[in-house]
Amino acid sequence: MNMSGNSIVKRIDWLTVLFFVLLVGIGWLNIYSSTFTEDNPNIFDLSQLYGKQMLYIGVSFIAIIVILALEANSYERFASIFYIISMVLLLGLFIFGKTIAGATSWYDLGVFNLQPSEFAKMATALALAKYLSDIQTDIKRWKDQLYAFLIILIPVVLVIPQPDPGSALVFFSLVFVMFREGLPLYHLGIALLAVLLFIFTLMFGTIWVAIGISLLIGIVFLFKRKTLKIPLIPLIVFFIIAIGFSLSVDLVFNKVFEQRHRDRFSLWLRLEKDPVKLAEIKKTIGYNTYQSEKAIESGGFFGKGFLEGTRTKGDFVPEQHTDYIFSTVGEEWGFLGTATVVILFTLMLLRLVYLSERQKNQFSRMYGYGVISILLIHYFINIGMVIGILPTIGIPLPFFSYGGSGLLGFTVLLFIFLRLDANRLNEWS
């Protein structure tokens, strides 16, 4: 234990730790700014949100020490147990859950509310890594693919009724681990194609989509026929399926979706051409996004300065300290601040890819990819939503957003990987 403690200080990836500290630090400053009131300047004041977040940071620090102190192989060993506990906790929400803001996602523990889905993310990543790294698993086999998918699907099925579609998406992101481990990429290609077809059909209608695909196929057929040797029949089948899908989009959009979903898409893709109705949508469901975009825009290049954000002070952006925390960065620190945060996330994620790739142990690598997938989807959807390029999906910004469960969950997620990474050279011990 003593020996391993020393070696951990030497071997832990301090660069990732630095990114982590910077993101948590900047995050806390912005939470401070967005919840600040002049009469309570004490940063440890537990009656204030920034004081509570300070406490969570402290708790996370303790968690880091515990994680690093434990044996590296214990995570692999107990992965299944963590997973089962998490699923039970998610299941338990249906009976004991506390509803906050319309979602039954919390356990009321008296002193604070625990959101088990934050920990289920980590447990699912561990379980998936464990299953895929098993010597008997072959990702090329469809049965094993199915089991792997099942590991992801169970928590998805459990969080959707809460309702927490954001977390469901996060679990789905773990398919990236499978792609890394050999799941053929055309799965991804087909999924991407389906998403694009969906969007284009909504924006331009089936007829233009059909014309577009015909043109594309025509071009490919004329110029690449000899080199690619694509037979004609599958192309035609593809064409028919694509058109069929496109036609079903209209049906799903108008019959299956509810009005609020349709409105979100209308806003996102600017489908609504009537300016009066668009303004109406902007005011109602687009209100958060509109306000956060405006707040970010008003920051300009240099920002208004720390604690000087007028829209932040006026609480114009709802949920600003949680999901919309990035708009505070935009207003008070300007483009310099937002670009810095984006670059920090990018560097950290790239560093994690590098760390994962250098793992000799398959479990560690797969878990690393799980961590990256989870962080990336959070970061992508959250900032994408706040700056108005993605539809509204409630999901926190890792290390930034206010919330104990979230911060603790992300910290544990990351540091288990750093613990595994620190152990990569003596994994046999």
Q: Per CB under 8 A, does 360 bind another protein?
A: no
Q: Per CB under 8 A, does 339 bind another protein?
A: yes
- Three-state helix/strand/coil letters over 332-377: HHHHHHHHHHHHHHHHHHHHHHHHHHCCCCHHHHHHHHHHHHHHHH
Selected range binding another protein among 134-142, 164-172, 245-253, 327-335, rule: CB under 8 A: 327-335
Q: How far apart are the first and last CA of the chain?
A: 12
> Exactly one of 372, 374, 395, 413 binds another protein (CB under 8 A); which one?
372
- Interacting residues with another protein between 151 and 190 (CB under 8 A): 176, 179-180, 182, 185, 188
Q: Per CB under 8 A, does 330 bind another protein?
A: yes
Selected range binding another protein among 45-53, 82-90, 196-204, 377-385, rule: CB under 8 A: 377-385
Q: Per CB under 8 A, does 104 bind another protein?
A: no
Size of the site for another protein (CB under 8 A): 45
Selected range binding another protein among 3-11, 57-65, 269-277, 367-375, rule: CB under 8 A: 367-375
The β-bridge partners of 98 are: 106
Query: What amino acid is encoded at 419 in this protein?
Result: R
Closest CB 155 distance from another protein, rounded Å? 21
Of 115 and 356, nearer to another protein (C-beta) is: 356
Selected range binding another protein among 149-157, 339-347, 392-400, 417-425, rule: CB under 8 A: 339-347
Of 54 and 128, nearer to another protein (C-beta) is: 128
Question: What track of x and - describes contact with another protein for positions 340 through 359 (by CB under 8 A)?
Answer: --xx-xx--xx--x---x--
Of 99 and 346, nearer to another protein (C-beta) is: 346
Of 171 and 379, nearer to another protein (C-beta) is: 379
Question: What track of x and - describes contact with another protein for positions 252 through 291 (by CB under 8 A)?
Answer: ----------------------------------------
Q: Per CB under 8 A, does 92 bind another protein?
A: no
Closest CB 297 distance from another protein, rounded Å? 5
Of 192 and 194, nearer to another protein (C-beta) is: 192
Give burial (CB, 10 Å; 0-12/13-18/19+) of 73: middle
Phi, psi of 205 (to 5 degrees): 90, 160
Query: What amino acid is encoded at 110 in this protein?
Result: G
Contact 391, 267 (CB under 8 A): yes
- Interacting residues with another protein between 380 and 419 (CB under 8 A): 380, 383-384, 387-389
Selected range binding another protein among 222-230, 275-283, 293-301, 410-418, rule: CB under 8 A: 293-301
Reported residue count of the chain is 429
> Exactly one of 369, 399, 410, 415 binds another protein (CB under 8 A); which one?
369
Closest CB 79 distance from another protein, rounded Å? 22
Residue ranges in contact with another protein by CB under 8 A:
38, 176, 179-180, 182, 185, 188, 293, 296-301, 308, 310-311, 313-316, 330, 334-335, 338-339, 342-343, 345-346, 349-350, 353, 357, 369, 372-373, 376, 379-380, 383-384, 387-389
